[in-house]
Structure 1
Amino acid sequence: MRPNVRLLAAPVTPRFRPGQRAPALALLPPIPLYRRLLRIHRKKLSPEERVFGDTYLKAEFRRHRDIENPLHIVGFLTEWQQYGQQLEGDDWKGRKIDNDLLERMSDQQIGQLYELMQAIQTRGRDSVDEEEAGSMSQAIEDATAGDKKAS
């Protein structure tokens, strides 16, 4: 029996067509995924974003450490792995959450998301206030230095 060259050259996985979901990736175990996410944060996020992201990541992994339901474990790891893949690409900035994903979230998850949004907005306001205060103090110092030189 002679091997058919066409069969030997056939792809192992079916071709990806537009509109289809991407093929499922093998899930990383929790510890390697956790380390990978911290590494991605170190490479891709600014220092302020990194502190915030690392703190949130550590808290979520601690919070889910004792989960025994396999569906919750797979969902948790899948979402974090997708998060890591999004961070590795640069299309995540300014992107909005899908309405479908929001509809599937529990009230507790939406509450957490809202708290996260408030913390980010508060942090943003604080940094803007610090910048304005810094520029104001610089202007005051410049003005007082000018007064001292004039006298």
Structure 2
Amino acid sequence: MKVSARLLASPVTPRFRPGRSAPKLAVLPPIPLYRRLLRIHRKRLGPEERIMGDLYLKAEFRRHKDIDNPIHIIGFLTQWQQYGQTIEGENWKDEKFDKELLDKMSDQQVGQMYELMQTIQKRGRDAADEESVDELYAPDESKKQ
């Protein structure tokens, strides 16, 4: 039987189902995990979220491609695999950030998270402002009749 690359790239862990505890992770190799995350972004994220997510994903995998420490590699792949399972679930947008995880982050990582939060909030305000301007200048349908 001939082994195809497509079979090797299939997920090793079962799909995350809301309401169930997360299954034990069998860590995927870097390239199949990378491809799986891009597919998840394509299916689950909106256009702006997908662009930002894809760019960040690509940058992180490029930054970590020359890492030799096996503990660091396993931690990196495990965290990205958990991220993929979280995005596959439906309730990830309403989740709060885990304080224990925040305590483990370096000052630089906390700064990056803060900048990301500010960018998201600014985009949300800009989108709300655009909607209110559009409503202000939209022709009133009741005056036409």
Structure 1: runs of 5 or more not aligned:
1-20
Q: 1:23 and 1:49, CA in 2 relative to 1: closer, same or farther beyond 3 A?
A: closer
Identity of paired residues, percent? 67
What code does the residue aligned with 2:48 have? E
In the other structure, the counterpart of 1:40 is 40
Runs of at least 4 residues of structure 1 off by over 3 A?
A: 21-24
Give 1:83-122 correspondences, 5 Å limit: 83-122=83-122
Alignment TM-score, normalising by the size of structure 1: 0.71
Number of aligned residues: 122
Higher alpha-carbon Rg: 1
Q: 1:62 and 1:134, CA in 2 relative to 1: closer, same or farther beyond 3 A?
A: farther
- Structure ranking higher on relative contact order (CA contacts 8 Å, 6+ apart): 2
Alignment TM-score, normalising by the size of structure 2: 0.74
Q: Which moved more, 1:96-105 or 1:75-84?
A: 96-105
Q: Which moved more, 1:110-119 or 1:67-76?
A: 67-76
Take 1:102 and 1:112, find their aligned partners in 2: how far apart are those partners? 12
Residue 68 of structure 1 deviates from its aligned partner by: 2.2
Structure 2: runs of 5 or more not aligned:
1-20
Q: Pairwise CA RMSD of aligned residues?
A: 2.1
Residue 24 of structure 1 deviates from its aligned partner by: 3.9
Take 1:22 and 1:68, find their aligned partners in 2: how far apart are those partners? 29
Q: Deviations over 1:13-68 (max 9, x none)?
A: xxxxxxxx966421111111111011011111122221221122122222222222
What code does the residue aligned with 1:43 have? K
